[in-house]
Amino acid sequence: MFKYLGNITDLSHHIIENYVESKGVALDGTLGNGGDCDFLSNHFEKVYAFDIQKSAIEEYKKKEKSNVSLILDSHEHIDKYVKEGIDAAIYNLGFLPGGDKGITTMTNSTLKSVESVLNLLNSGGILIIAVYVGHEEGAKEGEALLKYTKELPKNKYGVMLHKVINRSELSPYMLVIEKK
């Protein structure tokens, strides 16, 4: 097993833990099974977590994390719920592992959400997006996100692509966006 290349989630957590200095507010744009939310809740004072699936929200409620606000709504509506600056945000795009593969993140809502997060992101904040391109909507999302992030103003944002290039073109990759 590879240490650095083994798991996108571990790498995203390492980046946030070591490079985000302020640990006030974080956002999990895709709650899913809650792994990222657990990490964020252990490192940040307050976490907003979004999911469109009631089962994901209900399952996570059982953990009774007092610093997590669970929101049963699309991440495209972040502006409705989050009114403060964000220090870090994580997205794992695609579908809920072990869930209905017909329910997936969608290109337009993801782009709107990412734009909202970047506006809310504090200076020194980091947004990490795990992009799963192995299904039709994921491929569209990935293409749109790459196009969008390439055009971000370089005097305000740094964007890095983490992609394993000696595996399938359908392998997931990670976008890391840091706000200056």
Whether residue 83 lies inside any domain: the answer is: yes
Provide CB contacts within 8 A for 92, sequence distance 6+. 9, 30, 32, 36, 130, 132
Render pLDDT for 168-180 as a digit per residue (tens, 0 to 9): 888 999 999 999 9
Domain boundaries, position 118: 8-179
> 36 and 58 in contact (C-beta within 8 Å)?
no
pLDDT, mean of residues 42-68 = 97
Mean of pLDDT values over 14-18: 97
* CATH number for position 157: 3.40.50.150
Phi, psi for residue 87 in degrees, rounded to 5: -95, -30
Q: Looking at residue 7, what is its pLDDT?
A: 85
**Which residue did the predictor score with more confidence, 60 or 137?**
60
Residue 35 lies in a domain: yes
Residue-wise pLDDT for 76-100, tens only, equals 999 999 999 999 999 999 876 777 7
What are the E-state strand segments in 76-120? 86-92
Residue 132 lies in a domain: yes
pLDDT at site 6: 77
Q: For residue 142, what are its two tokens?
A: 């990935």
**159 pLDDT tier (thresholds 50, 70, 90):** very high
Q: What is the pLDDT of residue 102?
A: 77
Residue 61 lies in a domain: yes
For residue 96, the model assigns a pLDDT of 66
In this prediction the pTM is: 0.95
User: Across the chain, what does the average pLDDT equal?
Assistant: 94
Note whether residue 46 is domain-resident.
Answer: yes
Quickly state the pLDDT bin for 115 (edges 50, 70, 90): very high
Query: What is the percentage of the chain residues whose pLDDT exceeds 70?
Result: 99
Is the residue at 157 inside a domain?
A: yes
| CA pair distance 69, 31, nearest whole angstrom | 11
- Among the listed ranges 19-23, 69-73, 92-96, 151-155, which one has the minimum average pLDDT value? 92-96
Instruction: Provide the token pair at 129.
Output: 């997006």
**Does 95 reside within a domain?**
yes
Give pLDDT, residue 85.
Answer: 98
Looking at the structure of the chain, the number of domains it has is 1
Phi, psi of 122 (to 5 degrees): -70, 160
1 is a domain residue: no
Specify the higher pLDDT residue, 102 or 42. Answer: 42
